[in-house]
Amino acid sequence: MSAPRANSLGDLLGREFLSGGTARTRRFRAGERLFSAGDPGDGFYMIETGRVQIFATVGSAEPRLLASLGPGDTVGEMAVLDDAPRSATAVAEVDTEAKYVSRDELLRLLEREPGLALRLIREFSSRVRTLNSKYVDEVVQAERLAIVGRFAGTIVHDFKNPLTIIGLAAELACSDETTAPMRAKAQTKIARQVERMTNMLHELIEFTKPSGQRPSLRAVDFARYMNPLVEEIRQEIVERGVKLIADPAPADLQVQIQPQRLSRLFYNLLNNAVDEMPDGGKIFLRFVTNGPELQIEIEDTGRGIAPEIAQSLFRPFATHGKAHGTGLGLTICKKIVEDHGGRIWANPSEPGKGATFCFTLPLGK
The pLDDT value given to residue 63: 78
Together in a domain, 196 and 225: no
Assess whether pLDDT exceeds 50 at residue 110.
Answer: yes
- The total number of structural domains in the chain stands at 3
- On whether residue 138 sits in a domain, the answer given is no
> What is the per-residue pLDDT across 151-174, written as a single tens digit (0 to 9) for each?
666 667 677 778 888 988 898 888
- On whether residue 239 sits in a domain, the answer given is yes
Together in a domain, 188 and 270: no
Q: Taking residues 299-305, what's their average pLDDT?
A: 90
Together in a domain, 101 and 192: no
Domain-ending residue, one of 208, 227, 258: 208
> What is the per-residue pLDDT across 44-83, written as a single tens digit (0 to 9) for each?
888 999 999 988 876 556 777 878 888 888 888 777 766 7
Q: Which residues pair with 64 in a beta bridge?
A: 56
Assess whether pLDDT exceeds 60 at residue 215.
Answer: yes
Q: Taking residues 183-188, what's their average pLDDT?
A: 88
The pLDDT value given to residue 127: 66
Q: Tell me the CATH number at 296.
A: 3.30.565.10
Burial letters 173-196, b for 16+ CB under 10 A, else e: beeeeeeeeeeeebeebbebbeeb
The pLDDT value given to residue 2: 43
Domain that holds residue 343: 218-362
Domain-ending residue, one of 156, 174, 208: 208
Coil vs helix vs strand at 7 = coil
Q: Tell me the CATH number at 82.
A: 2.60.120.10
Nearest partner of 251 among 298, 299, 300, 296, judged by Cα:
296
- On whether residue 255 sits in a domain, the answer given is yes
Could you tell me which residue, 261 or 109, shows the higher pLDDT? 261
The pLDDT value given to residue 10: 56
Alpha-carbon distance of 35 to 259, in angstroms, equals 61
- On whether residue 278 sits in a domain, the answer given is yes
Together in a domain, 203 and 326: no
> What is the per-residue pLDDT across 257-297, written as a single tens digit (0 to 9) for each?
999 889 989 998 998 899 889 899 999 999 999 888 999 99
- On whether residue 347 sits in a domain, the answer given is yes
Amino acid letter, 45:
Y
Together in a domain, 197 and 280: no
Together in a domain, 249 and 317: yes
- On whether residue 129 sits in a domain, the answer given is no
Together in a domain, 352 and 227: yes
Quick one: CA torsion of 23, 26, 32, 37, rounded to 10 degrees?
-20
Per-position DSSP letters for 221-271, written without gaps between them: EHHHHHHHHHHHHHHHHHTTTEEEEESSPPPS-EEEE-HHHHHHHHHHHHH
Together in a domain, 234 and 324: yes
Distances (CA, A) of 275 to 196, 280, 319: 19, 9, 13
Together in a domain, 17 and 74: yes
Query: Do 196 and 267 contact (CB within 8 A), yes or no?
Result: yes
The total number of residues shown for the chain amounts to 365
Assess whether pLDDT exceeds 50 at residue 232.
Answer: yes
Assess whether pLDDT exceeds 70 at residue 8.
Answer: no
Domain-ending residue, one of 172, 190, 208: 208
